[in-house]
Structure formats: structure tokens, C-alpha cells
Amino acid sequence: MVSQITSTLCWVLVLIYTITTFINCNVVYGLAPSSADLDSTCNFVKSSVSSCSSSVSKENEDDHQHADDQYSTQRQNHSKSVYSCRTSSSISETTSILSMAKNPEMVKWIKTIRRRIHEYPELAYEEFETSRLIRTELDRIGVRYRFPLAKTGIRASIGTGSPPFVAVRADMDALPIQESIEWEHKSKVAGKMHACGHDAHVAMLLGAAKILKARENHLKGTVVLIFQPAEEAGNGAKRMIEDGALENVEAIFTTHVSTELPTSVIGSRPGPLLAGCGFFRAVITGKEEHAGNPHRPVDTLLAASAAVISLQSLVSRETNPMDSQVVSMASFNGGDNLDVIPESSVLGGTFRAFSNTSFYRLRQRIEQVCNCGTSKSIQKCSAEVDFFEGESFYPPTVNDDEMNEHVRNVAAGMLGSKNFRVVPQMMGAEDFSFYSQVIPAAFFFIGVMNEQVGSTHSGHSPYFMIDEEALPIGAAMHAEIAERYLSEHYR
């Protein structure tokens, strides 16, 4: 009898010890320490609580599905260190995402990343060093990823490796613009500049990665971080999708810096936000002749002029005035000899619309007008129209109502409702639209306008500048949007 009681007591004690050890090993801490802090803390933790490294969460499915993933030994070791660090009880579990983002170490780290990328801008599909920098930081944080997608793109994953999957995206490319502002971290590459803030987008998403990795046990699904090339030209988003960036993903979010909004103010709207944007160039071909013999040539200049006039009617006479659209001619070239009617003339421009239906209708009608209006039966010419669909062809960016509401709720909860604004539609375009055509998506702006630091010039200006104080806010927005989405859609 006594031996039975003793035996039972022993089993109870063993059970209590096991549960206590398990709980200690799975406490999630709210602060992402710096790499140096990690190393020193982890060395202590690893030597004192070696058993806790066995509580590593389920590995991400990406690791098993793709042989081309590149995982360094350093990252694997570091990843184990990060997990082991969860045994430290020095950091409060209740620390909020925003305060994690505003931690001075974190702010310094995010700013440093943004400045390093700003100094060495790379154009579309040439983001090799930017991509390498991102992968190095992901290695240090212990985040797994798939690489390459679309040449330089990265798909990283944090969480359970199971559904739901929610994505957050940043673009990496710069512009062929010479920076005109003298400052400590001015572009060191002549003729290239991060004049659209994509350096900030990468830094904010890496900040979110660090926050989410530290809170991985809070995630009720998987956050997919998409670092894409070629937003400015080359349809990087489209190629990312073709390479599997959205695999299993059910919703996607992104942000873009804006000098129209004060620092850290969030702006968005439901439905169409950014216009679809296409370009076209029509080559009209006829027959060259001396200008003194106007009855003998097939006049390409006259045919091209007729096409320009007809194209004006696509918006003014074929479009509902409540449905904003644009067709603008921007180029018209014929011969340069004042005594010769040229064999060919070239005209071109841009067209924009806020719905897919209107956008693709304009594309079709521009082609018809250029072909028919100059055809052999009317002007006796032929036309070939190029829409550059492999380079710069952006459908409208349409925000899903529910996803937009999610962004608004997160922004209002984190920053206060006065720091969220419904913004007007804009004729600018973004290749995030390719994602929004496939799954529910929301695009929002984050303000970086601050007169005191001179960040008042719009994107694509050689004087473009951002207020870096918005960077941690952007990181926190990404992290909170993703984490809360998973909690609300966990099945």
C-alpha cells in the first residue's frame, strides 16, 4: 500500500516537473533582441537550459517542398539559438507589437537596413545585392525562405507551416534617377536612386519579420513575406505569382510610403484605389514620296494624325463620365526631312482606368482605332500596336472591402482612428494589382511627409526623401495585420 502511494506520488512529481519544463520552454517573449544580444543571451541559456531546444515548433512546409531552398549552417545554428532564447524570462510576454517596433535597438536596426539599401540602389531584376542583404538578415533572424523567385525574389515563411496563409509584400527595385539631395546616406551609384521608397518597404518588412519571429508561438497559421523585384518596370509581381509566391496564400497586404500624408498616418480606401496603367506605341507604315507629289505617297503622317483625333473620342464619347479614364498621347514622330513624306510614323501614349473592365476595353479600342483608322481601306496604311505587356502593363489595384476594413481596424487600434484617413483614388499604378487580381488584397499608404526633414517631394523626384520615423510604424502595421488576420481566420 505504502509503496503504491510512493509510486503514485513519484509519478505526480514527474508529471508536474514535465509540465513546468514544457511551459517554461514555450513562453513567447515580446522583444526581438539584437544579434549581439541574442548571441550572449543564448550562450547563457544554451548552457543552463539545454533541454529546451527540443521544443522547436513545427518546421515550415517550404523546407520540405523545395530542394532549391538555400539554408546556411549559420542560419540553422542561429535559428536554434533564437528558439533557445525563448527560455529567457527577462522579456515580458505582454509586450505589444508596437512597443516592440519602437524599441530603440529595433528602430536603429530598421533604419540601418534602409540606409544600406538606399546607398546601393539596383534597378528591376538587378536587385542581387539587395536580395542578398535580405536573405542574410532572414538567416540571422532564423526565418526560412524560398529563393529565387522571379530572378531575385524571396518568399519567406514564419509560423506553423499550416493554413491559413497570409502574405505581406515589399518591392526591392530602384529607379534610373540621379539623387539630388546631399545627405550622409545618398545613393553611391550614379544615375540610380531609391526615389519611390522601396528601400523603406524592404526595411519595414524585415522589421515585421523580426517581430513575428519573436512572436511565432502567437501565430495561428503562416505569414508569408514576399520580397519582389521589378515593380517599377518588368511586372515583377506577375513573375512572382508564376513562380509560386502565392502558393496556399488566401490574402495579401502591402504598403507604400507617401509624401501626401504626415509621418505614420495610414491612408487607404475600399475598392479601386490605383488606376490600371498601360502604354502603347503604334507604328503606321505607308509609302515614302517627295512632298511635292502629294498624290503619290501613302501618307503615314496624315493617317497617324487621324488616329490621334479618333483616340480622343474613346474617353470623351465612349466612356461614362462617372467612370474616370485617361487616354493621353505623349509621342508623335514622323520623318525629319521637310521635303519627304515619311514611310512610317510612330505615335504613342498611356491609358488608365479604375476597373479591369474599363482598362481592358481601352486596350482593345486603342488597338482597333489604330488598325482600322489607318487601314488600307481608309488611309491606305497598316498599323502595328505594341502594348509592352511583358514590361509595364499594370491592371487597376482594387482593395477587397474586407481586407481594407482589416487594415483600417489595425491602424485605428494601433495608432488611433484620427491617424487613419480615407484617401482619394489616384491615377498612379502599382504592380501589386497582379496579386489583387488573384486573391483578396489591400494596399495602404503610410505617411512619410515631414517638412522639418524635407520629405515633401513626391515619388520619382530626384529630391524624394522620407521621414524615417515612419519605419517602425510600418513594421508594426505589417506584423499586426498578419498576426491578427491569422487569429481571425484560424479554422
What residue ranges bind Zn ion (CB under 5 A)? 196
- With a CB cutoff of 8 Å and minimum separation 6, the contacts of 372 are 378
Report which of 117, 140, 119 is spatially closest to residue 201, judged by C-alpha positions: 117
Instruction: Quote the least distance from Cβ 20 to Zn ion, whole Å.
Output: 51
- With a CB cutoff of 8 Å and minimum separation 6, the contacts of 34 are 105, 109
Instruction: Quote the least distance from Cβ 234 to Zn ion, whole Å.
Output: 12
Q: Residue 443 belongs to what H/E stretch?
A: strand 441-449
Instruction: Quote the least distance from Cβ 232 to Zn ion, whole Å.
Output: 5
Instruction: Quote the least distance from Cβ 450 to Zn ion, whole Å.
Output: 19
SS3 279: strand
Instruction: Quote the least distance from Cβ 104 to Zn ion, whole Å.
Output: 29
Question: Of 380 and 457, which has the nearer Cβ to Zn ion?
Answer: 457
Q: How far is 202 from 215, CA to CA, in rounded Å?
A: 20
Chain residue whose CB lies nearest Zn ion: 196
Question: Of 88 and 350, which has the nearer Cβ to Zn ion?
Answer: 350
Given a contact cutoff of 8 angstroms between Cβ atoms, the answer to whether 427 and 351 are in contact is: no
Question: Of 134 and 196, which has the nearer Cβ to Zn ion?
Answer: 196
Cell of 88: 529567457
DSSP classification of residue 72: -
Instruction: Kindly tell me the number of DSSP H helices and DSSP E strands found in the chain.
Output: 14, 16
Question: Of 228 and 358, which has the nearer Cβ to Zn ion?
Answer: 228
Cell of 39: 548571441
**Furthest-apart CA pair in the chain: how many Å?**
124
Instruction: Quote the least distance from Cβ 457 to Zn ion, whole Å.
Output: 13
Given a contact cutoff of 8 angstroms between Cβ atoms, the answer to whether 396 and 434 are in contact is: no
> Rounded to 5 degrees, what are φ and ψ at 167?
-110, 150
Instruction: Quote the least distance from Cβ 440 to Zn ion, whole Å.
Output: 22
